[in-house]
A = this chain, B = another copy of it.
Amino acid sequence: MTDDTLKALVESLIFVSQEPVSLERLQAVIEGVPAAEIQAAVEELVAGHDAGGRGIHIIRAGGGWIFATKPAHDREVRRLLQIERKNRLSSAGLETLAAIAYRQPVTQSEVSAIRGVDSTGALKTLLEKKLIKIVGRKKAPGNPLVYRTSEEFLLYLGLDSLDGLPSEAEIAKILEEEKALEA
């Protein structure tokens, strides 16, 4: 293996790993290359990324190496991640939204009972994102607030009306049918 090939290989391995990659791990994965050569390749890589004009670098952490963005770009990096996160509902949010969509009108405690998990936080997020709305109070002890999905919810899903939601039977059919052999 040439120096360049080894360096490229090490770069792709560090890139793809969520945990810091140790020298031992690299050596186990790249067969037949002495540790000293791998170490040298890593050091060259690290130096190359530390140079100007690079936005990412390899840092030493937890007994290994890991890619990170350079601190100078912190502000923009966070801004980008925020934009991206705003586009997504967490799985808790999605679950809660589903419970409301299928069981509306519902109260918080009904949603929580459905999920088996307290859903107040998810409800709040959904309200902020205007995916659900408060439509009144239930005539029951404590007069809890009653929630429904909003117009925006329909827009978000590209539905004309709530009738457009897949029925539970259909979803069960899609998900449970054991014709999965096919694909």
Contact = CB atoms under 8 A, between A and B. Distances in A.
Contacts of A163: 137, 143
Given A13-B77, A96-B183, A136 B158 contact: yes
Contacts of A143: 163-164
A143 B163 CA distance: 10
Given A18-B84, A83-B29, A11 B55 contact: yes
Q: How many copies does the complex hold?
A: 2
A175 interface: yes
A109 to B, nearest CB: 13
A42 B100 CA distance: 43
B136 A159 contact: yes
B170 A145 contact: yes
The binding surface of chain A is classed by DSSP as: helix
Interface string A101-134: 0000000000000000011111111110000001
A72 to B, nearest CB: 8
B135 A158 contact: yes
9 contacts: A7-B55, A8-B52, A12-B69, A16-B77, A25-B80, A29-B83, A90-B182, A93-B183, A124-B179
A168 interface: no
Interface in A44-74: 52-56, 67, 69-70, 72-73
A13 B73 contact: yes
A55 B15 contact: yes
B90 A183 contact: yes
Interface string A3-41: 010011111110111110100010011100000000000
A67 B8 contact: no
